[in-house]
Amino acid sequence: MLLTHSHTLLASPPCDAFLRLLNGRPVGEQKELLNKWNEMGTDEPDLSLFRPVYAPKDFLEVLINLRNPNYENGDSLSFRTHLGLIQVPLKVKDIPELKEFFVELGLTTGQLGIDDSTQVPPELFENEHVRIGQKVLAEQDSAAAQQYIRQGSPTALRAELWALILNISSQPEDILYYEQLKTNVIQHDLLVDSLIYKDVKLTASNDDYYFVFEDYLYQVLLCFSRDTSVLGHFAYNSASPPKSYIRGKLGLEEYAVFYPPNGVIPFHGFSMYVAPLCFLYHEPSKLYQIFREMYVRFFFRLHSISSHPSGIVSLCLLFETLLQTYLPQLFYHLREIGAQPLRISFKWMVRAFSGYLATDQLLLLWDRILGYNSLEILAVLAAAVFAFRAVNLMEVTSLAAAEAVLADLSTLKVMPLLQIFLFATVT
Amino acid sequence: MAGKVKWVTDIEKSVLINNFEKRGWVQVTENEDWNFYWMSVQTIRNVFSVETGYRLSDDQIVNHFPNHYELTRKDLMVKNIKRYRKELEKEGSPLAEKDENGKYLYLDFVPVTYMLPADYNLFVEEFRKSPSSTWIMKPCGKAQGKGIFLINKLSQIKKWSRDSKTSSFVTQSTKEAYVISLYINNPLLIGGRKFDLRLYVLVSTYRPLRCYMYKLGFCRFCTVKYTPSTSELDNMFVHLTNVAIQKHGEDYNHIHGGKWTVSNLRLYLESTRGKEVTSKLFDEIHWIIVQSLKAVAPVMNNDKHCFECYGYDIIIDDKLKPWLIEVNASPSLTSSTANDRILKYNLINDTLNIAVPNGEIPDCKWNKSPPKEVLGNYEILYDEELAQGDGADRELRSRQGQSLGPKGGRSRDSGRTVLTTWK
């Protein structure tokens, strides 16, 4: 059983005063929080003693050190030797396989993100595509929606299409469930709440696109950490939720509780999974449901260790393999100067590019995650970005300089990059 | 003919000066022979004043129209729009059509406004019709949110009532003149916060009207959650979006400065409200800007040495109706964030490319028709000559790259056929 790194970090809390992981709130404080429910951003607790539990780069260190003890590599180096950071031999797709998998992204198929630009008359593709989307929604056909969205979703239809694909329909019981979670937040405060506040303040609050939604992020994430239904995803997640023990009963299983109640400890940048969704849903319980479903279907794979093809380990390996195989000169050069490409692209993939791409581009990317039910596109995009900036990267001589070349992705158009990398590059 | 453009400015802002220098222009003083003067509004008063003014020669350009205040003073703007509406009504124009409540269908884009002290009694009559309404008091000649306050009781503005009877206040009233407008207490909120839109519009000539809209406008958000509650009427952090005010708030953030791009707004609205209503909103915004310019065009001194870049402030209410709040003659060139600096630098750059073609010594007799390539981030908002020449369709298409003729046309068909003929 593989442990998540976070276990060890949480075992040594920052300060003795915070040993209580869960506190009941006094009634006065409850009332105050209820009043402030819509503007928690303006009144956060003292966060100066808190640091995020772990950041992506800490997680990367863990992944780099993963080894399969049963696997015999052989002593001699060959052209098959993987020169990247990941040393676990998982099966990843090569470009021919990716072309087949992502066939709808091919050059002869219309795409939103390419064929809807202002120079292209809408009659050629966009109008028809919108019409089909409306039909799919009218028939409430989830499978058709998933197929349809591979070519991208029109902005006006996206919220409904995602809900259809994720099977989210706001029934009264869903709204009630959310309200119940909200009540839990009001009545008890969790130590992990401070981590959430800190994360939002460090990331989304400073973001040009998402700062507006700061308060929604608290509403979603505070409820999320109390949502025990999320524990269900551990049935197919090879990680396991951290446990805590009732005071004085350390080690006694009958007194073990999952902590936080949803089993997920937020890391630095976690709130960025929620932020882009705020552009689509402004009703809190719907926003919550969509996020929760996105998490238990996709995002959890980005920060837990498994052999799943969409798991972060496979994505890292896919990225490195694509680079080493199809851009060997660039890969060797970066390696030589101490700038292993994964060290730069890892944070993009862990966050599914949220906070790095412009929002409209990010949403086009996440359309394809839903459409293909796979996160592999993140690794392909990461490789495509390197390919795009290859000329500049060949000239750098340090990791810092390489980071600088790749610091700003906000002007990138993801679909052309992906299309060129997969379908228009001579391999 | 070949010679460097000589520039002067009395506004020490790097976004201006860097733009002049990168063109290789030469800085001179106001007393020397200059070709281009980017002046503050005080200076333009002097240049064109009857006593101290001087004639500009053909190779001199300035960045303000002599009587820009017809548009940029809050009271005069309202006066001109009211006059324009009445004129259209008199000539039976379909633009001046009203609904069953007497409200203009297409020209109701300025909140009900009265001048104080002159219209005090009219205002009281209106106030008494809906005594629970909130009104906003704004000094006519100030900027940056200075001197603005909200009222919901007549007693709060009693001092303006005494003045209307006395004639000796005629001269004084221009200093203390206020406008009072119905406060839009149902603004569209995003993330629970009120915001307004700042859009830049360049006018190169008023007759024929030729104006350009800068594609990169932005939204300015308040740092505090909006509430219409009367207990917070004097909390300016809730109600006034001016950066000059918000930046003193506790939660002001220097990284994003509380600003959103207009394209973010568009993405958000299309995603949450749909494409048609969003396109309609943006079309309406363009419409009200053009109408406001048409309203003042007859009274504007269309001096050929002049161009002007205005800062339009627009508020959208929760029914997605845009309201024109005011027009600024000297939009701030101060940068509150890094992105801001880039935006304003590019704004000046694109403005200069249009106003001073090829960066060469200007000749104010030119036809002020720049080729498409130099527009940069501007797009043609309205070109009266084009509109009259080739008919409505052509003008609609030239208006913007995106929601072109067919799309624009469709959204107009819903009962507003008039808008296809912007003449």
**ipTM summary value:** 0.87
The answer as to whether B79 is a domain residue is no
Per residue in B280-315, is it b (16+ CB within 10 Å) or e — as a string? bbbbbbbbbbbbbbbbbbebbebbebbbbbbbbbbb
Residues B65 and B2 in one domain: yes
If residue B389 lies in a helix (H) or strand (E), which one and from where to where? helix B384-390
The answer as to whether B354 is a domain residue is yes
Residues B278 and B385 in one domain: yes
Question: Which of A153, A155, A408 to mutate to test binding with chain B, by most B CBs within 10 Å of its CB?
Answer: A155
Q: CA A409 to CA B261: how far, in whole Å?
A: 17
Identify the closest residue of chain B to A155 by CA–CA distance.
B271
Would the CB atoms of B253 and A39 count as touching at under 8 Å? no
Residues B56 and B133 in one domain: no
The fraction of chain A above a pLDDT of 90, given in percent, is: 54
Look over chain A and give the mean of its residue pLDDT values, rounded to a whole number: 86
The answer as to whether B97 is a domain residue is no
Residues B287 and B382 in one domain: yes
- A100 CB burial (10 A radius; 0-12, 13-18, 19+): exposed
- B264 CB burial (10 A radius; 0-12, 13-18, 19+): buried
Would the CB atoms of B225 and A39 count as touching at under 8 Å? yes
Please determine, for residue B264, whether its predicted confidence score (pLDDT) is greater than 90: yes
pLDDT at A247: 67
pLDDT at A309: 93
Q: What phi, psi does B222 have (nearest 5°)?
A: -75, 150
The answer as to whether B310 is a domain residue is yes
Would the CB atoms of A38 and B225 count as touching at under 8 Å? yes
Q: CA A140 to CA A135: how far, in whole Å?
A: 9
Residues B119 and B211 in one domain: no
Residues B324 and B366 in one domain: yes
Which structural domain range is residue B335 located in? 1-71+186-397
More confident residue, A187 or A378: A378
Alpha-carbon distance values, A297 to A177, A234, A355 (Å) = 20, 11, 20
Last residue of a domain, one of B129, B163, B182: B182
Last residue of a domain, one of B132, B160, B182: B182
Residues B248 and B296 in one domain: yes
Question: Which pLDDT band, with edges at 50, 70 and 90, does B1 fall under?
Answer: very low
Q: CA B312 to CA B335: how far, in whole Å?
A: 17
Residues B231 and B121 in one domain: no
Q: What is the pLDDT of residues B381-422, one digit of tens each?
A: 999 988 887 655 444 443 433 333 333 333 332 222 223 334
Question: Which pLDDT band, with edges at 50, 70 and 90, does A75 fall under?
Answer: low
Residue among A156, A215, A359 whose CB faces B191 most closely: A215
If residue B314 lies in a helix (H) or strand (E), which one and from where to where? strand B308-316
The structure's pTM equals 0.86
Q: What is the pLDDT of residues B150-171, one digit of tens each?
A: 888 888 887 777 554 444 444 4
Q: What is the pLDDT of residues A227-256, one digit of tens each?
A: 988 888 888 877 777 777 666 767 766 666
Residues B132 and B196 in one domain: no
pLDDT at B270: 95
Chain B residues within 8 A of A41 when measuring between CB atoms: 251
Question: Which pLDDT band, with edges at 50, 70 and 90, does A15 fall under?
Answer: very low
Residues 6+ positions from A16 with CB-CB distance below 8 Å: none
Question: Which pLDDT band, with edges at 50, 70 and 90, does A43 fall under?
Answer: low
pLDDT at A42: 66
Residues B315 and B233 in one domain: yes
The answer as to whether B163 is a domain residue is no
pLDDT at B47: 80
pLDDT at A400: 93
Residues B42 and B147 in one domain: no
Residues B129 and B248 in one domain: no
A391-410: average pLDDT: 94
Closest residue by Cα to residue B364 from B55, B83, B128: B55
Q: What is the pLDDT of residues A54-69, one digit of tens each?
A: 788 888 888 888 877 7
Structural domains in chain B (count): 2
Q: What is the pLDDT of residues B167-179, one digit of tens each?
A: 444 444 444 788 8
The answer as to whether B66 is a domain residue is yes
The answer as to whether B87 is a domain residue is no
pLDDT at A31: 81
More confident residue, B210 or A6: B210
Would the CB atoms of B251 and A281 count as touching at under 8 Å? no
Would the CB atoms of B193 and A206 count as touching at under 8 Å? no
Question: Which pLDDT band, with edges at 50, 70 and 90, does A390 fall under?
Answer: very high
B197-223: average pLDDT: 94
The answer as to whether B95 is a domain residue is no
Q: What is the pLDDT of residues A257-316, one digit of tens each?
A: 777 888 888 888 999 999 999 999 989 999 999 999 999 999 999 988 888 999 999 999
Q: CA A293 to CA A168: how far, in whole Å?
A: 8
Residue B374 maps to which CATH number?
3.30.470.20
Q: How far is B207 from chain A (nearest CA, A)?
A: 31
